[in-house]
Amino acid sequence: MAGQGTTVATAPVETARRAHVGNGKARALIGPGLCTFLIFAVLVALGALIFPSSYFYRVGTLVWINTLAVTGIVVLLGYVGLVSLGHAGFFAIGAYATAIGPNYGIPSPLAMAGGVALAGLLALVVGRPILRLSGYYLAIATLGLGMLIWMVLSKEAWLTGGPDGMTVSGMNARNLFKLVGLKLKSAEAWYWVAGFVAAIGAAIAVNLANSPSGRALRAIHDSDVAARSLGIDVARAKSRAFVISAIYAAVAGALLALANGYITPETGGFMHSVEMVTMAVLGGAASVFGALVGALILTALPQLLTVFADYEHMVLGAIMVVTMIAMRRGLVPFIADLWNRRKS
Amino acid sequence: MSELLQFLISGITVGAIYAAIALGFTLIYNASGVVNFAQGEFVVIGGMTAAALIGAGVPVWIAAPLAVIAGMLVGVLLYRLAIRPAGQAPLVSLIIITIGASIFLRGAMQAVFDKQIHRYDGFSGDAPLRVGGATILPQSLWIIGGSVAVFAFLAWFLNRTRAGRGIRATASNRMAAALVGINTGRAMNLSFALSAAIGALAGVLATPVTFTSYDVGVLMALKGFSATMLGGVGSPLGALAGGLLIGLIEALTAGYISSDYKDASAFIVILLVLFLRPQGLFGARIMERV
């Protein structure tokens, strides 16, 4: 099992990195992480330049929040080659902690941090024993974990408001900008905050990929056994990646709760987990730019096509199957390859 | 006492359904090594098709086989359109493909049928029979009988028939099987068809008791997984025992702890099995080919 991916797997990571972080002098000069951050920052600003109304800002905010969550999937799926079908659960833990905290006198930032820590801890406790085993066990266990979290959120109405969801009070990003004398509409303020956090998240993920632990993860992606024989503690490295990706999801969830001001248990539902994986798979799970492209397409599509809602399941399912068969590495590396071939 | 008996009866009833799902799941896994996340959708296809046909006035003894055939066709299509084209894809790609297929089927079911919850009358009526101090629905007997029949059929088919032995040979070494003249492509088709038929049959039998709707597939798959893992992945006897145990645990949880969290018990079992005994009750020790 583990051996099959050997020749296939490093190639996409390498190509994606070379093609998108750039192979040039800029990258050598400022480092891949900062380079990624700057590219993201430019894209965030570009969005702000062309958006005509608050509605666009709200959709844009959603794109950045999803990009952040999907970046976590990239770390897990793209770097290590593990599938989680319960990431919406971690997302919801971040979101609900941020929503519930202020009701008990805990200030929003503290509640956020608590939710993120809780998600990371849960991933650690659940992930450790499962990740000793390989293959599909994580997918099955996270499928169950996600459902359990969703169940708790729907049934414990005294805490979470039940299936109807709950309003989120507390922070507004406008006030952050007021401190420095900028007057922004609420939707605009959240857009900038979400874009900024997504850019930082992407930079961290890119730096991780180029660090010794990141290289260990990619070695595991190629072959568990080969990595182990090189002295890599495979279970530990996998568990670390799982915790990191859970943290990404929880931060994204907390941001969504604050930006939306309202959350429902569906943020933790199975379909949301599937959506995240589909975004990563569509864009290309090997790079953060794949996360961005996947998140952009699958967030914007339902806004553009109103019929999308009726066929959402079929479209998502078809995207997963077709991408995996026709362009296994996703859209970004696929197009990059076409581009490179034309040039040479 | 009669209360406990009642819980045991309902536990064995749902357990038999999970056992059937787990058996279908084991069949595909044994033949191809694919962990089919779309297994629960076959159950829904069976139930929804039968409900639609019976609703349209088709007698149940025609509707039930038609629903099983519908499931079987979808199983073959799943293999031909999604699994086979992927070729020698890494495990993670196959997982994503079967998840994608499962979501696609869920959407298709919503488009072809509707979003309502469906049921139809039990095959032998809905008047409960008295057993000791408890009652049992005649349909429960159909379900339990169906699962036992499926198990017996598989045991006979895989051990005693040429086609069944072909599937086992393909599973143990595809190339060697092809070299001794076994049509491995046919064996794969057959295992997907059979597995889907078993799932659809479970749906047809279960719907009068458990109801069905387009979105229950993933929960069914999860229960089937936990049954499989509890019994030991790849072991048909394990699938049967695991299914019944999961059903019992679930019924007792619902009865004595909280009916809100009865679905959680399947997940807790998965975690405990992974923590304590990853090979399950009847499974061989997990070995990996490198």
Residue B247 counted as domain residue: yes
Option in A5, A223, A274 nearest B99 (CB): A274
Q: What is the pLDDT of residue A268?
A: 94
Option in A83, A151, A313 nearest B95 (CB): A83
Residue B289 counted as domain residue: no
Q: Which residues contact A38 (CB under 8 A, 6 or more apart)?
A: A30
Option in A8, A133, A314 nearest B107 (CB): A314
Q: What is the pLDDT of residue A32?
A: 87
Listed in order, strand segments (DSSP E) in chain B are 129-131, 134-136
Residue B121 counted as domain residue: yes
Question: How far out from the chain centre does Cα A175 lie?
Answer: 27
Option in A83, A137, A313 nearest B106 (CB): A313
Interchain contact A277–B (C-beta under 8 A):
yes
Q: Which residues of A touch B101 (CB under 8 A)?
A: 317, 321
The helix (run of H) or strand (run of E) holding residue B41 is: helix B39-55
Tokens describing residue B37: 């996340």
Integer Cα distance of B145 and B149 in angstroms? 6
Where does residue A173 rank: exposed (0-12), middle (13-18), buried (19+ CB within 10 A)? buried
* Mean pLDDT, residues A182-205 taken together: 92
Q: What is the pLDDT of residue A124?
A: 95
Interchain contact B287–A (C-beta under 8 A):
no
A vs B: CB pairs below 8 A: 138
Q: Which neighbouring-strand residues pair with B212?
A: B118
Integer Cα distance of A139 and A58 in angstroms? 32
Option in A136, A310, A317 nearest B95 (CB): A136
Interchain contact B227–A (C-beta under 8 A):
no
Cβ-based neighbour number of residue B121 at 10 Å? 11
* Mean pLDDT, residues A285-309 taken together: 88
CATH number for the domain that contains residue B99: 1.10.3470
Q: pLDDT tens digits for A139-148?
A: 888 998 999 9
User: Which of A:324-343 have CB within 8 Å of B?
Assistant: 324-325, 328
Cβ pair B99:A310 closer than 8 A: no
The fraction of chain A above a pLDDT of 90, given in percent, is 58
Amino acid code (one letter) for A206? V
Architecture of domain A2-343: Orthogonal Bundle (1.10)
Q: What is the pLDDT of residue A343?
A: 79
**pLDDT values of chain B reduced to their tens digit, one per residue, 290 residues:** 688 999 999 999 999 999 999 999 899 988 888 889 999 999 999 999 999 999 999 999 999 999 999 999 999 999 999 999 988 888 888 999 999 999 999 999 999 999 999 999 999 988 999 888 888 999 999 999 999 999 999 989 988 999 989 988 888 888 899 999 999 889 999 999 999 999 999 999 999 999 999 989 999 999 999 999 899 888 888 999 999 999 999 999 999 988 888 888 888 888 888 888 888 888 765 555 44
Q: pLDDT tens digits for A214-264?
A: 888 888 888 888 888 888 888 899 999 999 999 999 999 999 999 999 999
Question: What dihedral angle (degrees, nearest 10) is formed by the CA atoms of A49, A253, A270, A208?
Answer: 80
Q: Which domain holds residue B184?
A: 2-276
Per-residue pLDDT band at A25 (split at 50, 70, 90): low
Q: What is the pLDDT of residue A312?
A: 86
Q: What is the pLDDT of residue A242?
A: 96
In terms of CA atoms, which chain B residue is nearest residue A5?
Answer: B90
Q: Which residues contact B279 (CB under 8 A, 6 or more apart)?
A: B232, B233, B285, B286
Interchain contact B269–A (C-beta under 8 A):
no
Interchain contact A121–B (C-beta under 8 A):
no
Cβ pair B219:A319 closer than 8 A: no
Q: Which residues of A touch B286 (CB under 8 A)?
A: 133
Greater confidence (B276 vs A87) lies with: A87
Domain map (residue ranges) of chain A = 2-343
User: Which of A:210-269 have CB within 8 Å of B?
Assistant: 223, 225
Distances (CA, A) of A219 to A71, A79, A81, A166, A223: 19, 9, 10, 43, 6
pLDDT at A306 over 80: no
Query: CA of B99, closest CA in chain A: separation in Å?
Result: 7
In terms of CA atoms, which chain B residue is nearest residue A321?
Answer: B97
ipTM score of the complex? 0.90
**Count of domains observed in chain B:** 1
Whether the CB-CB separation of B228 and B25 falls below 8 Å is answered with yes
pTM above 0.80, yes or no: yes
Q: Which residues of B touch A4 (CB under 8 A)?
A: 88, 90-91
